[in-house]
Amino acid sequence: MPDRYFWLRCTLCGAEYEATPATYTCSRCGEAGILDVEYDYDYVRARLTRDGLATSRDASMWRYLPLLPVDPASPRPNLRVGGTPLYRCDRFARAIGLREVWIKDDGLNPTCSLKDRASAVGVVKAREAGASVVACSSTGNAGSSLAGNAAAAGLQSYVFVPDRAPRGKLAQLLIFGARVVAVKGSYEDAFRLSMEAIRRWGWYNRNAALNPYLMEGKKTVSLEIAEQMRWRVPDWVAVSVGDGCTIAGVGKGFFDLQACGLIDRVPRLLGVQALGCAPLYRAFRAGTEQWVPEPENTLADSIAVGVPRNPLKALRAVRRSGGEMVAVTDEEILEAMRVLGSSAGVFAEPAAAAAFAGVARARREGVISADEVVVGIVTGNGIKDVANAMKAAGEPIHIPPDLGELQRILGEER
Ligand SMILES: *Cc1c(COP(=O)(O)O)cnc(C)c1O
């Protein structure tokens, strides 16, 4: 065992490795041997306490530094990642038949998605590795967050996206100075090409499933939820699922808090996929870890992942939490976007709204009961994908500048 307070452990064979910045996967198991970061929880417990956090002046994700796998002395990009609001919304809760629903709005991160939490860690690790170029494949948000955080740290980014990516996300990538490769093909095609290019040019690899450090950034959303709820653990936390890194990270956050004695139980995870692309949902329901690739057939682009890259960690996190998975249609997703917007004032992109559509469905199916406390995570901001938002929201009133005309239309609406 190395003398650091964190190290790496293979999720397949259990082999342990020193946590060097560019150790990605298990050398025995190959690409499937995804690594987990393990901590000396006695070390962390002494440094991360409720009282210490209560007086911390750092409002960003870095307030949880003892639970993050970076050298505390490493320079960090100065964007304010994390510290996003958690709202209780009774109107939204009532609309879907629940008593208490909380909305964690991670669309308010610097590049407007939860992925900033992973990319912030990725950029620190890239600098620790001495790299000047970082790269990833992405359905859009991982890339734009990498591009933004890399820009703030003075690194060059290369981002591979399927060419279907919404224009808002492409615009972000380009503005942040990324070299953007829009691949004619699926997310899987973009992933493959990125891996070949990373090998060919030796760039730092920010692909979240393969780089074990990124999930650790994502888990900070759970640390914040627990702290913002004053350590009262909700019954359920709902999150949408594509590759599976996000839900695995959300689970890791709560399990780490439990291991440090900061909470005494872990919420049940509700993993939500789109019915048009739901390989992990189907594997979960079949009770196996075997999944079958699917076409990417949903408007929720961020979770249109036909070949999930982190299936094991995702399925194990949901099962270990005693959780469930559900799948929702595109119509349910658009409806959830509308209800979130109009009852809570929160603008979610389709993949983020999917989590809330999943909560509504789980309630209807009796998976969640009416008096249980639910937190849903808005993983990305709807402003990134205006075309789908308009599908959900409909059209404005188009009229000439004429009060009589307006009166006629508003009168008809009554
Ligand atoms: C990436 C992403 C997800 C899903 O995360 P995975 O790690 O791919 O499961 C969900 N919602 C949004 C908005 C995302 O960008």
Residue 324, domain CATH: 3.40.50.1100
Q: According to the model, what pLDDT value does residue 2 have?
A: 44
Q: Which of 211, 239, 302, 381 for mutating ligand 1's site (highest number of atoms within 8 Å of CB)? A: 302
Domain extent for 254: 86-112+214-393
Residue 19 included in any domain: no
Residue 280 included in any domain: yes
| Cα-to-centroid distance, 410 and ligand 1 (Å) | 40
Burial class (CB in 10 A: 0-12, 13-18, 19+), 232: exposed
pLDDT band at residue 1, thresholds of 50, 70 and 90?
very low
Instruction: Give the pLDDT confidence of 140-189 residue by residue, as tens digits.
Output: 899 999 999 999 999 999 999 999 888 988 999 999 999 999 999 998 89
Ligand 1 proximal residues by C-beta, below 6 Å:
113, 115, 141, 208, 240-247, 302-303, 305, 349, 351-352, 379-380
The Cα–Cα gap between 86 and 78 comes to 23
> Atom 13 in ligand 1: which residue has the minimum CA distance?
380
In this structure, what token pair is assigned to residue 332?
């349910």
Mean pLDDT value of segment 9-25: 93
> Atom 2 in ligand 1: which residue has the minimum CA distance?
302
Instruction: Give the pLDDT confidence of 95-120 residue by residue, as tens digits.
Output: 999 999 999 999 999 999 999 999 99
In this structure, what token pair is assigned to residue 225?
């939820």
pLDDT band at residue 358, thresholds of 50, 70 and 90?
very high
The continuous run of DSSP H or E covering 218 comes out as helix 212-218
Residue 388 included in any domain: yes
pLDDT > 80? residue 238: yes
Q: According to the model, what pLDDT value does residue 206 have?
A: 87
Mean pLDDT value of segment 331-357: 97
φ/ψ of residue 2, rounded to 5: -65, 165
Q: According to the model, what pLDDT value does residue 401 have?
A: 96
- List the beta bridge partners of residue 183: 162
| Cα-to-centroid distance, 83 and ligand 1 (Å) | 19
Residue 346 included in any domain: yes
pLDDT > 50? residue 133: yes
The Cα–Cα gap between 225 and 375 comes to 8
Mean pLDDT value across the chain: 95
How many independent structural domains does the chain possess?
1
Which has the minimum average pLDDT: 31-35, 197-201, 365-369? 31-35
Mean pLDDT value of segment 57-63: 96
The proportion of the chain whose per-residue pLDDT surpasses 70, expressed as a percent, equals: 99
Residue 30 included in any domain: no
Place of tokens 């962390």: 44
Number of H helices, E strands in the chain: 16, 13
Tell me whether strands 35-39 and 6-10 are parallel, antiparallel or unpaired. Answer: antiparallel
CB neighbours (10 Å) of residue 30?
A: 9
| Cα-to-centroid distance, 16 and ligand 1 (Å) | 28
pLDDT > 90? residue 339: yes
The amino acid occupying position 48 is L
Residue 331 included in any domain: yes
The continuous run of DSSP H or E covering 236 comes out as strand 236-240
pLDDT band at residue 4, thresholds of 50, 70 and 90?
confident
Q: According to the model, what pLDDT value does residue 32 have?
A: 85
Q: According to the model, what pLDDT value does residue 414 have?
A: 61
| Cα-to-centroid distance, 120 and ligand 1 (Å) | 16
Residue 43 included in any domain: no
pLDDT band at residue 3, thresholds of 50, 70 and 90?
low
| Cα-to-centroid distance, 376 and ligand 1 (Å) | 13
The Cα–Cα gap between 119 and 217 comes to 8
The continuous run of DSSP H or E covering 86 comes out as strand 86-88
Residue 11 included in any domain: no
| Cα-to-centroid distance, 400 and ligand 1 (Å) | 42
